[in-house]
């Protein structure tokens, strides 16, 4: 039998054990990706469903990256996206975290409120006169 109750090696017996915050360690090692919250995704999917019903859009993809979350909208699944709805929290204090980007890379609308940004997809009503 051994007189030692500690299972550490003799050289480690005099050093205190280091305490590491697991949450901080995980965040520094592999930061969590940016995601859409449920209400944000509901607002996007409401517009998407309306446009699918009109036959304009047919497919979508969601990407959660380290810097931003992207909802891509496609006419056909094998093509480039027609539009991208992006959430970039780093831009929240400046221009707004949300933006709608066209297929050519032009920012169509940007802002702090997703509902206002998504209004870019609303159809313009035209006055029709009867003869």
- Identify the residue with better confidence: 108 or 20: 108
Q: What is the pLDDT of residue 128?
A: 63
- In this prediction, residues 105-124 reach a mean pLDDT of 91
Within-domain flag for 55: yes
CA distance 83 to 100: 7
Within-domain flag for 1: no
Domain that holds residue 55: 38-121
Give, for 24, the enclosing helix (H) or strand (E). helix 22-29
Within-domain flag for 59: yes
- Residue 107: CB partners within 8 Å, gap ≥ 6? 99, 100, 101
What is the domain count for the chain?
1
Question: Of 48, 38, 23, 93, whose CA–CA distance to 69 is shortest?
Answer: 38
**Predicted confidence band of residue 79 (pLDDT cuts 50, 70, 90):** confident
> pLDDT tens across 2-35, in order?
555 555 555 556 677 788 777 777 667 767 789 9
Do 87 and 98 touch, CB atoms closer than 8 A? yes
């Amino acid at each position: 039998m051994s007189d030692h109750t500690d299972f550490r090696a003799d050289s480690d017996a005099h050093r205190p054990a280091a305490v590491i915050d697991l949450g901080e360690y995980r965040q520094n090692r592999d930061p969590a990706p940016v995601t859409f919250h449920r209400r944000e995704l509901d607002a996007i999917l409401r517009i998407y469903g309306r446009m699918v019903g009109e036959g304009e859009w047919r497919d979508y993809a969601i990407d959660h990256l380290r810097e931003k979350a992207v909802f891509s909208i496609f006419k056909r699944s094998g093509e480039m996206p027609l539009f991208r709805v992006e959430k970039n929290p780093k831009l929240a204090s400046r221009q707004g975290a949300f933006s709608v980007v066209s297929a050519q890379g032009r920012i169509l609308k940007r802002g702090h409120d997703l509902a206002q940004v998504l209004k870019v997809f609303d159809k313009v009503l035209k006055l029709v006169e009867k003869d």
